[in-house]
Structure 1
Amino acid sequence: MTVDRRQFLTGVTALAVSPIIAGATSAPMTLEAKQGHIKLIPEEFGDYPQTNVWGFDGGVPGPLIRARQGDVIERKLINHLPQDTSVHWHGLRVPNAMDGVPGMTQDAVPTGGEFLYKLPLQDAGTYWYHSHNQSTEQVARGLYGVLVVDEETPPDVDHDIIVVLDDWRLSQEAQVTEDFGAMHDWTHAGRMGNFVHAHLTPQLVSVQTSQRLRLRFVNVATDRVMAVSLSGVQGKLVARDGMPLEQPEDFSVLTFGPAERADVIVDVTAEQGDTVQLAIHERDTDYLLQELKVGGRHSSGPRGAIPPLPDNPLSRLTDLTNARTVPLKMEGGAMGGLRQGRYKGRQLSTQELVDEGQIWTFNGEAGLPEAPLLTASRGEIIRIPIQNDTVFPHAMHLHGTHFQEVLPDGRFGPLKDTILVNPRESREIAFIADNPGDWLLHCHMLSHQAAGMKTWLRVS
């Protein structure tokens, strides 16, 4: 599909408006992974057919799962796809057996099979769920959904809106292209699409001046980094990756690596007849993703200061005196200068690695190593300095817990589960190893993960 500059990075699929019901769960007790059809390309761009997708319950995104902090929910995955699959509950602190990583925490669910996930919801916030088997293909086909855990006392807002940002590579017939293993994608920035859009739930017809909105951004793209901004509103960034900030922060452009999330609370400042706009920035140009008309003025008037969200029960770091340091060095990819690396216990040349479909390494190791990056005692504090010796960014995701960045001045950044490490950049994360089990640590540019960027750690 040839998409010109006006169509690229544009378009919204309208979803049904559904009220927020405190304590309610809006998804069924089963999640069926199956093929479906959605009208992905809006009529304004031409008479394109429906797009064939793989989705939970056949839709994209899959069913919104919504529950209260402290609840325990169950979802039975039933696989109707022609490939094995699984579900990873991204950002949730779940028991290891519920993490959804085939070959590490469970067997992949075969066609016709099922698996029951039991999930304690310890933390309020914005999370998502997605396939973790052949995920470069399955997530690109649409196998993901959003999970919202409401605070016991949610903030006072007029609308709570989920904004799912996705990136599709489509053919002339508006179908997902089948080139999932393209080596150029794997060795460069990943699978970049030609149609980026935003799913909004609910899809509002209009908003009013002085209304307060909570926007929950989720980047579900396979590989694309997205930078977005809002106009016609004023407010604060209140959470990152589901975890509340200790103090709300000003923001202008929000940058999301794949899998990163952010919550903002904003007041509508645009006047009647104007619009609230969501734009994405690509190569020094802004593209409109969505706009909401402003119709009238909210009777309550301005709300005043935006307070912090209630904190979650996860300890923050205060001291690294007794921390253990385990470095992680990234190498490989195009223009990376990688000459050799280990893969499945063998030392291979770059060409031999490429022949194996592996071109990225962590500490000289491509693919999931037999031995963990580290073994930590429960409660131990771990520091991981990350050095990106490649010419591409990498969104590093740690399963099982959240970490904090160790900033250059010694302070600690917010709790997160994914961090974007830019080319030739060094960053350091630290965390308390408080969740026992074997946990994956990988690049969430899923093409990079498939081509070698994954390791694991053990907490005992």
Structure 2
Amino acid sequence: MTQMMSRRAVCAGLLAAPLIRPGRAAASAPAPLTARAASVQLAPPGYGMTEVWSYDGSLPGPVLRAAQGGRLSRRLVNELEVPTTVHWHGIRIDNAMDGVAGLTQEAVPPGGSFDYDFALPDAGTYWYHAHTNSMEQVARGLSGPLIVEEATPPDVDADEILMLDDWLIDPDTAQFYADFTAPMMRSHAGRMGNLIGVNGRFDHRLKAGQNARLRLRLINAANARIFVLRLQGMEGWTVALDGMPLASPEPLVEEIILAPAQRVDLIVDVTAEEGTPAGLLYAADDDSWQALVELEVSGRASDARRAAPQPLPRNPRMEIGGLEEATPREMRMEGGAMRGMASGRFEGRQMDFQELIQRGQFWALAGQVGRGADPFARYRLGETARITLVNDTVFPHAMHLHGMHFRQLNEGAAGPMRDTLLVMPQQSAEIAFVADNPGKWLLHCHMLGHAASGMSNWIEVV
């Protein structure tokens, strides 16, 4: 069963906050994906346009679709005034294509380009985003959905991508608050927006008839916000997490907790009658719910609901063996306001508090502040890894592993495949994965302000 946690637990965690290498040669030049500035109507009517950083001029970036087993080829063209890269989040990808500046490639300078070309082994819901100064570049708009389609998709009336996000906007100018290095945000829960929306709109709407069956692909593209969600006028099943299919669909009986970078695929039936409220709600606080997506119900799609859906087709390489022989390791999260940062203490070592402030580094991961020259661990190709993530802070952290998926271990049982796991304050979680993808892979908090200010490490598979 998927592991759920209470909305109160999440809210409690948040309330603690006040040398460019060419890509593989292709038969023809890849289609461009251009990073450039653009103006969009992000805020409600009556407000001005917002200057964003975009892919191909839209926010979010264009939907990229490809078939499982195929390849995706795109030429990143950088028309921004700053260097950038693209990370293809959740794809079990060739290391040279992973898009991490300083680890897997050098950043693409202004006016430069880089060809990304890679295989797509797994069907599912993924996304792409900047991975150079990610906290600012993603917050300014550099992200978009990536859908890898099954050979046999489920029987649904509509397949909807819902990319959830928030933006920190100055209401007087409709522009982003530009202080992306503010110590308060970096040392607390992260950069939280005052405008919340879906697919670049604050008022996203869908239409369907009663008894329509929808596939909802939810992607949390927010910089730091944990979305707590529930359905209204719909009932359904969770069928995939972070792109990976569940062994069987799980009925939705609890709220959905979606941390930054996580995805969930739902298959839902519209149960509401015409004219009654329906949609996707989010917990605005611990006591109230607001509409995130409104669903207009008109007529009937069919006279009765269908039978429960079948599982999505399995992706390859989903088994994890060799757990008993695996060497256990511990990766401890430390620092932040109201704990480690206040004393400047990481793993028993004193660091000058003012030095931390000047460096903008408030967090540590496995006793290390920021990505170092040596990896947290080196694994032989095919070795099984076990890592216990220990959150010794008062804030939640969404821990993301590049290049591979893992399973959470709980009393000997292995949970669903994921690439991002939410670890709550003062809790721990053990993950296991097969190190079957050679290269240097980032392991970091996807509260991007935390990663930018110290909570980032890496492993190597050789």
Q: TM-score, normalised by structure 2?
A: 0.89
Shift of 1:138: 0.5
Partner of 1:42: 44
Is 1:179 paired with 2:179?
yes
Partner of 1:236: 237
Q: 2:35 touches 2:77 (CA, 8 Å); kept in 1?
A: yes
Deviations 1:206-236 (A, max 9, x none): 2011111000000000111111111111110
Q: 1:245 touches 1:309 (CA, 8 Å); kept in 2?
A: yes
Deviations 1:33-75 (A, max 9, x none): 00001111232xxx10111100001210111001110111200
Shift of 1:352: 2.0
Is 1:58 paired with 2:57?
yes
Q: 1:316 touches 1:415 (CA, 8 Å); kept in 2?
A: no
Partner of 1:297: 300
Partner of 2:193: 193
The secondary structure found in structure 2 opposite 1:336 is: helix
Within a 5 Å distance, the mapping from 1:292-371 to structure 2 comes to: 292-299=295-302, 301-338=304-341, 339-340=343-344, 348-371=351-374
Is 1:255 paired with 2:257?
yes
**Amino acid of the structure 2 residue aligned with 1:135:** S
Q: 2:321 touches 2:384 (CA, 8 Å); kept in 1?
A: no
Q: 2:206 touches 2:294 (CA, 8 Å); kept in 1?
A: no
The secondary structure found in structure 2 opposite 1:126 is: strand
**Amino acid of the structure 2 residue aligned with 1:331:** E
Within a 5 Å distance, the mapping from 1:20-419 to structure 2 comes to: 29-43=31-45, 47-171=46-170, 172-199=172-199, 206-251=207-252, 252-284=254-286, 285-299=288-302, 301-338=304-341, 339-340=343-344, 348-407=351-410, 409-419=411-421
CA distance in 2, matches of 1:138, 1:204: 27
CA distance in 2, matches of 1:274, 1:222: 33
Which has the higher mean CA deviation after the structures are superposed, 274-283 or 52-61? 274-283
What do you get for the CA RMSD once the two structures are aligned?
1.7
Deviations 1:323-375 (A, max 9, x none): 111110111000113545689xx973333222211110012210111110000
The secondary structure found in structure 1 opposite 2:274 is: coil
**Amino acid of the structure 1 residue aligned with 2:245:** P
Deviations 1:71-110 (A, max 9, x none): 1120000000011000000000110000000111001000
The secondary structure found in structure 2 opposite 1:354 is: helix
CA distance in 1, matches of 2:129, 2:377: 26
Which has the higher mean CA deviation after the structures are superposed, 265-274 or 137-146? 265-274
Partner of 2:446: 444
Indicate the percent of aligned positions where both proteins have the same amino acid: 49
**Amino acid of the structure 2 residue aligned with 1:210:** N
The secondary structure found in structure 2 opposite 1:173 is: coil
**Amino acid of the structure 2 residue aligned with 1:197:** G
Which has the higher mean CA deviation after the structures are superposed, 97-106 or 221-230? 221-230
Q: 1:166 touches 1:219 (CA, 8 Å); kept in 2?
A: yes
Q: 2:86 touches 2:129 (CA, 8 Å); kept in 1?
A: yes
Deviations 1:118-168 (A, max 9, x none): 021100000000000011111010000000001000000000000111010
Q: 2:42 touches 2:200 (CA, 8 Å); kept in 1?
A: no
Give the paired residue count: 426
CA distance in 2, matches of 1:239, 1:375: 30
**Amino acid of the structure 2 residue aligned with 1:348:** M
The secondary structure found in structure 1 opposite 2:356 is: helix
CA distance in 2, matches of 1:426, 1:107: 34
Q: 1:91 touches 1:127 (CA, 8 Å); kept in 2?
A: yes
CA distance in 1, matches of 2:200, 2:136: 24
In the alignment, structure 1 segments of 5+ residues that lack a partner are 1-27
- Closer/same/farther in 2, CA of residues 304 and 449 from structure 1, 3 Å limit: same
Q: 2:408 touches 2:416 (CA, 8 Å); kept in 1?
A: yes
CA distance in 2, matches of 1:151, 1:130: 23
Q: 1:161 touches 1:200 (CA, 8 Å); kept in 2?
A: no
Partner of 1:422: 424
The secondary structure found in structure 1 opposite 2:184 is: helix
Q: 1:77 touches 1:116 (CA, 8 Å); kept in 2?
A: yes
Shift of 1:29: 1.3
**Amino acid of the structure 2 residue aligned with 1:161:** E
Q: 2:123 touches 2:150 (CA, 8 Å); kept in 1?
A: yes
Q: 2:249 touches 2:310 (CA, 8 Å); kept in 1?
A: yes
Q: 1:376 touches 1:433 (CA, 8 Å); kept in 2?
A: yes
- Closer/same/farther in 2, CA of residues 53 and 288 from structure 1, 3 Å limit: same
**Amino acid of the structure 2 residue aligned with 1:184:** M
Q: 1:341 touches 1:353 (CA, 8 Å); kept in 2?
A: no
The secondary structure found in structure 2 opposite 1:366 is: coil
CA distance in 1, matches of 2:108, 2:298: 49
Deviations 1:398-453 (A, max 9, x none): 0000000011x210010000001111111111100000000000000000001000
Shift of 1:318: 4.5
CA distance in 1, matches of 2:236, 2:101: 41
Q: 1:91 touches 1:400 (CA, 8 Å); kept in 2?
A: yes
Q: 1:327 touches 1:384 (CA, 8 Å); kept in 2?
A: yes
- Closer/same/farther in 2, CA of residues 209 and 218 from structure 1, 3 Å limit: same
Deviations 1:190-221 (A, max 9, x none): 111101111289x7652011111000000000
CA distance in 2, matches of 1:271, 1:200: 28
The secondary structure found in structure 1 opposite 2:354 is: helix
- Closer/same/farther in 2, CA of residues 347 and 371 from structure 1, 3 Å limit: farther
CA distance in 2, matches of 1:39, 1:177: 16
In the alignment, structure 2 segments of 5+ residues that lack a partner are 1-29
The secondary structure found in structure 1 opposite 2:426 is: coil
Partner of 2:21: none
Q: TM-score, normalised by structure 1?
A: 0.90
